[in-house]
Amino acid sequence: MMDPLIMLASPTLSLDAFGSVAGALTLFFALLIGHALGDFPLQGEFLATGKNRHLVTEKGGDLVGGGWFVCLIAHALIHAGLVWALTGSVVLGCTELVLHAVIDAIRCEGKLGFVADQLLHVACKGGFAVLLFFGLVA
């Protein structure tokens, strides 16, 4: 089997690389690291605050004209890019874009707490690893 670090960094990533349990677990771990990077250092205060249409900025105004939506999508695009880069799958990248935006929008509406939000994101990453393991997505 190919070295997992080489496997994940390979520009010619093959879905066959994740056909073993070790490969799927390695991918899941890499996706979790990517998620942590995307939700914490790569998000920043502007996106973290701006993606919530209910929060008020320091200047006393909200991000009118759909600015909150731009922030939400920008944040979700960071995650989508990480998923695409790690899996080599545009389909999973696009799926991450939609799922991450929906989960975060629900959280911003106060329907989810922090832990539930994070667990849903982790479940998505687990689902991606399973889909690749069984060869169900390209």
List pLDDT tens digits, range 10-48: 544 444 566 788 888 999 999 999 999 999 999 988 899
Per-residue pLDDT at 13 = 47
Tell me which residue has tokens 């993606």.
Answer: 51
Whether the pTM exceeds 0.85: the reply is no
Q: Flag whether pLDDT at 130 surpasses 90.
A: yes
d(CA 124, CA 28): 10
Mean pLDDT of 51-70: 70
Share of the chain above pLDDT 90, in %: 64
Per-residue pLDDT at 12 = 42
Per-residue pLDDT at 131 = 94
Tell me which residue has tokens 């771990």.
Answer: 29
Q: What is the pLDDT of residues 77-106, one digit of tens each?
A: 999 999 999 999 999 999 999 999 999 999
d(CA 89, CA 2): 19
Q: Flag whether pLDDT at 5 surpasses 80.
A: no
The CA-CA-CA angle for residues 77, 97, 42, to 5°, reads 35
The alpha carbon of residue 42 and the mean position of all alpha carbons in its chain are separated, in whole angstroms, by 11
Beta-strand (E) ranges in 1-138? none
Per-residue pLDDT at 11 = 45
